[in-house]
Amino acid sequence: MAIAPSIAAPSDTDYIPVKRPFSFGRWFRATGWRHLIGAVMVVFSAFPLLYVLSASLHPGGTLITANGLFSQIDLGSYVTLFNLPQQPYADWYANTLLIGGITSAGTVFLGALAAYSFSRMRFTGRRAGLLMLVLVQMFPQLLAVVAIFLLLNGISDIFPAIGLDTQIGLIMVYLGGALGVNTYLMYGFFNTIPASIDEAAKLDGAGHARIFFTIILRLVAPILAVVGLLSFVGTTNEFVIASIVLITPEKQTLAVGLYQFVSQEFSSNYSVFAAGAVLAALPVMALFLWLQKYIVGGLTAGSVK
């Protein structure tokens, strides 16, 4: 910047703040180039999503017709999707919501119980318990998928209702991961709620159960929402365990069903798959964008001490 003249000829008028005339170069150096990067990133981020949306709107489309973006718009694929005899899409959808909903509710509940005791009570083995949670989350259930399959297979011989090819069995497996990273996240949040609130309630005659259910759970609602959502998204995305536990097509989830749909008739029936993908993504994305602030808060709360 040219500062020399102002030094050479200082005068009072120079220091009166006036609106400087717009200069493209200055604007570009300050924020304009940022918009350029932003535009590139918007294309990079949003393009695949627009592509799948456009593919889903192409009637009877294959992979090659999907390349003509938004050249034709028709909801035919969405109708076809629900009328495929071999692929019960509506069942997959309902199963995914059901399994995801129950798993995330159970995860939040079990995790909150554990986090409450770790945060508010002092007992022998507390530190060891917290350490164990940190260590256990290092070993995802995914690694023991063979053992999970054989365990459920063994349960099937005794109680077919909760063994292989049952959704209850799958939910139980998922709840095995309820403690772990979630509890750890909640534990940190519980610690930020002042213990004096509990003590005041205790003086007023409230028991531990009442304090937990009516006071604490309300105060920690944001973290419960975050954990619930992360667990729901995680369950929706889970493929490995769901694919070996659920065998009957009517019992499967979207991840398992859509993968098999794709591997069978990928390029010939692409618009139907795309319609399925759009519908599958909508609730998760809506939830995500709605709870975005909490999620960002939750993610950074775990990292920034």
Residues 70-109 binding other proteins (CB under 8 A) are none
Residue 41 touches other proteins, criterion: CB under 8 A: yes
- Give the orientation angle of helix 270-290 with respect to helix 221-237, to 10 degrees: 170
The distance of closest approach from Cβ of residue 263 to other proteins in the complex, given in angstroms and rounded to an integer, is: 8
- Pick the closer one to other proteins by CB: 251 or 273: 273
Name which of 80 and 141 has its Cβ closer to other proteins. 141
- Does 292 help bind other proteins (rule: CB under 8 A)? yes
Q: Which stretch binds other proteins (CB under 8 A): 18-26, 62-70, 82-90, 219-227?
A: 62-70
Cα gap 254→89, rounded to integer Å: 8
Q: Is 9 in the site for other proteins (CB under 8 A)?
A: no
Closest CB to other proteins among 10 and 26?
Answer: 26
DSSP category for residue 71: S
Residue 151 interacting with other proteins (CB under 8 A):
yes
Q: Which two tokens stand for residue 104?
A: 């995330």
Residue 265 CB, shortest distance to other proteins, in Å, is 12
CB of 82 to other proteins, least distance (A): 18
Task: State the nearest-atom distance from the C-beta of 282 to other proteins, in Å.
Answer: 10
- What six digits make up the tokens of 112? 């909150």
Buried b (16+ CB within 10 A) or exposed e, 213-251: eebbeeebebbbbbbbbbbbbbbbebeebbbbbbeeeeb
Instruction: Give yes or no for residue 31 binding other proteins (CB under 8 A).
Output: yes
Shortest Cβ distance from residue 154 to other proteins (Å)? 8
Helix (H) or strand (E) holding 295: helix 292-303
Query: Which of residues 85 and 205 has its CB atom nearest to other proteins in the complex?
Result: 205
Looking at residues 260 to 289 of the shown chain, list those that interact with other proteins (rule: CB under 8 A).
262, 266-267, 270, 273-274, 277, 280-281, 284-285, 288-289
Asked if 231 and 107 touch (Cβ cutoff 8 Å), the reply is yes
DSSP 9: S
| Site track for other proteins across 155-194, x = CB under 8 A | --xxx------------xx-xxxxxx--x-----------
Helices (H) and strands (E) in the chain, counts: 17, 0
79, 105, 142, 247: residue in contact with other proteins (rule CB under 8 A): 142
Is 62 a binding residue for other proteins by CB under 8 A? The answer is yes
- Helix H or strand E segment including 27: helix 24-27
Which of 149, 165, 225, 294 is close enough to bind other proteins by CB under 8 A? 149
* Residue placing its CB nearer to other proteins in the complex, 8 or 276: 276
Give the 3-state secondary structure of 186-216: HHHHHHHCCHHHHHHHHHCCCCHHHHHHHHH
Q: Helix 145-158 vs helix 167-175: angle between axes, to the nearest 10 degrees?
A: 130
* CA–CA dist 267, 144 (Å, integer): 34
- Candidates 239, 260, 265, 294; binder of other proteins (CB under 8 A) is 239
